[in-house]
Structure 1
Amino acid sequence: MVAMRDAADWVGRKEERWGCLTPELAGMMSAAVSHPVSLPRDTRRGSLLPRLWHWAAFPEFVPLSQLGTDGHPKLGDFLPPLAFKRRMWAAGRLSFTGSLRIGERLRRKSEILSVTPKSGGTGDMVFVTVAHQIEGENGSFVEEEQDIVYLHIPDRFTPPKRLPELDTPDFDETVEINEARLFRFSAATYNAHRIHYDLPYAQEVEKYPALVTHGPMQAILLMETAKRHTGVPPKRFSFRGVHPMFHTHDLRLQGRLSPGGKSMELGTATPEGYLGMTARAEWD
C-alpha cells in the first residue's frame, strides 16, 4: 500500500495495451445484455462494434495468485495501491469518432490524470481518474475518462440518499435482472469481482444486501436504449452511479429526449422509483 502523500506520484503513469472484441466475445456480450425489446445485433467479424462494448476487448489475464480477495487484480501495477478495501467504477465520459468493428485489432493508451481524496456521507474516499484512447485499425477511436472510487468497507450497509426517477420520461422499459444475467456479464467482461456472483461474499464481507448489478452493464443498456429510440448512436455519452442496484429487483430503463432532439437524459431505476445510474447521451 502507498500513503496518500505518495499517491500523487501515480499521476501521469501510462499504460498501452492491445485488444480485440472477437465474434465469440461479441456473442457473449449480446447474450448478457439482450432483453425482449433490445436491438438485433450482428456479431460477425467486420460488423459494427456496439458502443461501449470495447469494455470487453481488453481482459486482464492475470493468474489467480495475483487476484485480491475481492476478485479484482491486485493493485500496484497501473492503478495506485491505496489502503482501501473496496474499489468501484463510479462514472465515465466518452466521445466517439467513427465506428469500431468486431474482430479488428484495438490499441488502448491509458494515463492516470488525477488522484483526489474526498470525504462524504460514506466516509473517506479517493477518486482516481483515468483517460483512455481506444484506436481501431482504420482511424476510428474512442476517447474516454473513467472515475474509479476507492472506499472503506463499512460495518453494515447504509444506502446513499435516493434520487427520484426521471420526471415524465419518454419511455420506461423493464429489463429482467437475475443471477444468470450477472454471471454472463461477468464472464463476457472477464470480471471476477465477487460482489457480482458470490452472494455470501457480497453479504458477509462487503455488507451488501444482495449481489450487485454491474455499473458498466447498466451503462450499456442505457446506451443501447438511446440508440434504439433515436435510430442514431450518440456522439458523446456520460454516466454516474448514484445508488447500488441488486439482483433482487429488475431494472427500469428511462429516457427523456430534449426538445431539440440533440440530447437525452437517461437513468436506470428500481421498481420503487429511485435511480441507480444517471446518464446523458448527446448527438451534437
Structure 2
Amino acid sequence: MEAIANVDGRDWIGRVETREGCLTPNLAGMLAGALGHPAAPVPALAPGAPMPTLWHWAAFPEFVPLGELGTDGHPRLGGFLPPLPYSRRMWAGGRLRFEGGFAIGEALRKRSEILAVDEKRGATGPMVFVRVGHRIEGAHGGWIDEEQDIVYLDIPERFTPPKKIPVPGGADFTETVPVNEARLFRYSAATYNAHRIHYDLPYAREIEKYPALVVHGPMQATLVMEAALRHAGGTPRAFRFRGVHPMFADEDMTLTGTRGEDGALELCTGAAGSGHQCLQARLELA
C-alpha cells in the first residue's frame, strides 16, 4: 500500500497496546439503562453476576483529556490508531469468539494489535480499512478473541444512502426497540463515546451530512445478540456483524432473527418505518 498523504499505514501494522478494565456494577447499571426496552428483562447487576455478552465493550473507557479530542469527538489519531487524513471514522463491523464468560466487577485485561491497513475504493471514493485484533482475558479464565474493522473515509458534500436491503420476512422472532435521543445519549455515556454524530444534531447534519442522529453500531449488535439469546437460548460461541446502512434516531429499531439448518442464527437490525436492514449479524451457539 502506498503512503497516504505522507502517512504510510503499514508503519502501524503490529503496533500493540495493553489495557486493564472492569465493568463495575455502576457502569453495568448505566449500560442496562441504555439497552433496556419492553421485551428485555433487566439483568442482574450485582458484583459477581454474569456479564451479558458484548458488555465488555464498556469496560475499557478511553480517559482522553478534552484537549486531545478531535473535532468529531473521537480521540485524536496518531497514538495507537494511524493518523490517516480522512475526516470520518466508523466501526464498520467485527468478529468475535467466546470461551467461558466474564462477571460484573471482574478484572479484565485487553491486548490490542493493528493487524492490517488496506486501502480500497468505494462508491463514495477512497477509503482505508484498519483491522484491529483484541484478546480480552478475565481474572476467572474466560476470554474473547475479537477483530474490529474500522473504516476511514472522507465526509461527502451530501448524504447519499447505500442501497436499501429489505428486512427478510418469515423470521423466527422480531422485536421492536424504541429509539430516541435519550437512548443514544445514555449509550454514549455508558461507553464513554464522545462521537458527536450520536448526540449533536447540528453537527451530524451540518458537518457529517447525515439527515439525523446516528444510532451506534455496537449498540445495535448488542441488542440483536441479546434478543437472539432470549429466543434461542444457548451459549455464544462465535458472532460476526457488519453495518450495511446507517440507522437514524428518527425511526425505531427492529431486531430480527432466523435459525438456519446448521443451528446458527442469521440476524439483522432494521429501520422500523422504512423496513430496510441496517446491521447484519450471525451468531453461532455452543
Q: Could you say which TM-score interval applies, normalised by the shorter chain?
A: over 0.9
Q: Separation in 1 of the partners of 2:7 and 2:47?
A: 47
Counterpart mapping for 1:37-76 below 5 A: 37-76=39-78
What secondary structure is seen at the aligned counterpart in 2 of 1:235? strand
Q: Separation in 1 of the partners of 2:54 and 2:238?
A: 11
Counterpart mapping for 1:161-240 below 5 A: 161-240=163-242
Q: Separation in 2 of the partners of 1:59 and 1:202?
A: 23
Contact 1:226 1:234 in 2 (8 A): no
Q: How far apart are 1:5 and its partner, in Å? A: 6.2
- Report the counterpart of residue 81 of structure 1 in structure 2: 83
Q: Separation in 2 of the partners of 1:19 and 1:272?
A: 39
Counterpart mapping for 1:90-105 below 5 A: 90-105=92-107
Tell me which stretches of 4 or more aligned residues in structure 1 moved more than 6 Å. Answer: none
Q: Separation in 2 of the partners of 1:10 and 1:170?
A: 43
Deviations 1:194-237 (A, max 9, x none): 00000000000000000000000000001101110112232111
Using structure 1 for the length normalisation, give the TM-score. Answer: 0.97
Q: Extract unaligned runs of 5+ from structure 1.
A: none
Deviations 1:155-210 (A, max 9, x none): 00000111121231111211000000000000000000000000000000000000
Contact 2:167 2:276 in 1 (8 A): yes
Q: Separation in 1 of the partners of 2:222 and 2:7?
A: 36
Moved more, 116-125 or 3-12: 3-12
Counterpart mapping for 1:250-269 below 5 A: 250-260=252-262, 262-269=263-270
1:124 to 123, 126, 129: 126
Structure 2 CA distance for partners of 1:76 and 1:279, relative to 1, 3 Å = same
Deviations 1:226-279 (A, max 9, x none): 11011223211100000000110000100001135x200000011221100000
- Report the counterpart of residue 15 of structure 2 in structure 1: 13
Q: Separation in 2 of the partners of 1:30 and 1:10?
A: 35
1:152 aligns to 2:154 (yes or no):
yes
Q: Separation in 2 of the partners of 1:186 and 1:40?
A: 19
- Aligned amino acid, residue 216 of structure 2: H
Contact 2:72 2:196 in 1 (8 A): yes
Q: How far apart are 1:76 and its partner, in Å? A: 0.5
How much is the aligned-residue C-alpha RMSD, in angstroms? 1.2
Contact 2:7 2:83 in 1 (8 A): no
- Report the counterpart of residue 26 of structure 1 in structure 2: 28
- Aligned amino acid, residue 79 of structure 1: L
Q: How far apart are 1:2 and its partner, in Å? A: 6.2
Q: How far apart are 1:151 and its partner, in Å? A: 0.9
- Aligned amino acid, residue 39 of structure 1: P
- Aligned amino acid, residue 20 of structure 2: W
- Aligned amino acid, residue 265 of structure 2: M
Using structure 2 for the length normalisation, give the TM-score. Answer: 0.97
- Report the counterpart of residue 116 of structure 2 in structure 1: 114
Q: How far apart are 1:87 and its partner, in Å? A: 0.2
Contact 1:12 1:113 in 2 (8 A): yes
Contact 1:166 1:255 in 2 (8 A): no
Provide the aligned length of Structure 1 versus Structure 2. Answer: 283
Q: Separation in 2 of the partners of 1:241 and 1:30?
A: 23
What secondary structure is seen at the aligned counterpart in 2 of 1:186? helix
Contact 1:176 1:251 in 2 (8 A): yes
Q: Separation in 2 of the partners of 1:125 and 1:4?
A: 16
